[in-house]
């Protein structure tokens, strides 16, 4: 079963966080993107939502290339738990544990550095939509998010159903990332 890609929820908060993290003025972002400053302002206020391709371009430009973060990635890659690490703003895969890769049934090379959002199940999309209400985008250390997703095959990626925990971590660049861990049989999250 495949699911339609939806617009990233709370794009306005993602944009504002990235722009401020990079210490960029709205006018600069507007110039780089070829739009008016007022357009960027309306994007950040949430009164205007750009098309999905523009959202992806904005997040790619402002997100930049994540730093190496060797220790954090090594911890994820060597974990026995099914887990993966993504950028918080656009879900680009930074690392995955062997257990997660076994679940996904896809080679790492196919996924590394690309957004996993296109594989989001309806439950993951719904949980993402609720992040704004929980102040996820406002707090430096938001409460972990617990969700349950059903098993699915989304665009060739196998997702195992069950409990999942999202936790905020910070990359060396100051960019927020998300550690996504699944419960294993007999263990609670």
Domains defined along the chain, listed by start: 11-63 (1.10.260.40), 70-182 (3.30.450.20)
Q: Cα separation of 158 and 97, whole Å?
A: 15
pLDDT in tens, 121-148: 999 999 998 988 888 887 778 899 999 9
- Is the Cβ–Cβ distance between 44 and 38 less than 8 Å? no
Looking at the predicted structure, is the pLDDT value of residue 57 above 90?
A: no
As a whole number, the mean pLDDT across the chain is: 84
Q: What is the pLDDT of residue 185?
A: 52
Mean pLDDT, residues 103-114 taken together: 88
Can you say whether the dihedral through the CA atoms of 119, 123, 125, 130 is positive or negative? negative
Q: Cα separation of 87 and 165, whole Å?
A: 15
Q: What is the pTM of this model?
A: 0.73
Looking at the predicted structure, is the pLDDT value of residue 65 above 80?
A: no
Q: What is the pLDDT of residue 2?
A: 37
Q: What is the Cα 175 distance to its own chain's centre? A: 11
Looking at the predicted structure, is the pLDDT value of residue 69 above 70?
A: yes
Number of other CB atoms surrounding residue 121 within 10 Å? 18
pLDDT in tens, 3-50: 344 566 778 887 887 788 778 888 988 888 889 999 989 998 889 888
Looking at the predicted structure, is the pLDDT value of residue 187 above 70?
A: no
3-state class (DSSP) for residue 88 = coil
Q: What is the pLDDT of residue 181?
A: 96
Q: What is the pLDDT of residue 165?
A: 95
Q: Cα separation of 66 and 94, whole Å?
A: 8
Q: What is the pLDDT of residue 66?
A: 56
Q: What is the pLDDT of residue 84?
A: 96
Q: What is the pLDDT of residue 22?
A: 75
Mean pLDDT, residues 70-98 taken together: 91
- 80: its two tokens: 């026995």
Looking at the predicted structure, is the pLDDT value of residue 107 above 60?
A: yes
Residue 1: pLDDT band (50, 70, 90) is very low
Q: Rounded to 5 degrees, what angle do the CA atoms 143, 144, 149 make?
A: 140
């Amino acid at each position: 079963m495949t699911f339609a890609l939806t617009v990233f929820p709370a794009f306005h908060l993602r944009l504002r966080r990235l722009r401020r993290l990079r210490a960029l003025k709205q006018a600069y972002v507007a110039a780089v993107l070829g739009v008016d400053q007022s357009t960027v302002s309306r994007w950040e206020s949430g009164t205007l939502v750009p098309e999905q391709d523009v959202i992806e371009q904005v997040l790619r430009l402002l997100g930049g290339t994540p730093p190496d973060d060797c220790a954090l990635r090594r911890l994820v890659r060597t974990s026995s738990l099914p887990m993966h690490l993504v950028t918080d703003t656009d879900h680009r895969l930074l690392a995955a544990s062997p257990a997660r890769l076994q679940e996904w049934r896809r080679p790492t090379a196919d996924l590394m550095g690309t957004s996993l959002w296109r594989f989001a199940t309806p439950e993951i999309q719904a949980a993402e939509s609720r992040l704004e209400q929980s102040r996820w985008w406002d707090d430096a250390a938001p409460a972990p998010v617990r969700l349950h997703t059903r098993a699915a095959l989304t665009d060739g990626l196998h997702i195992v159903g069950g409990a999942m925990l999202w936790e905020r971590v910070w990359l060396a660049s100051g960019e927020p990332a998300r550690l996504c861990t699944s419960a294993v049989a007999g263990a609670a999250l």
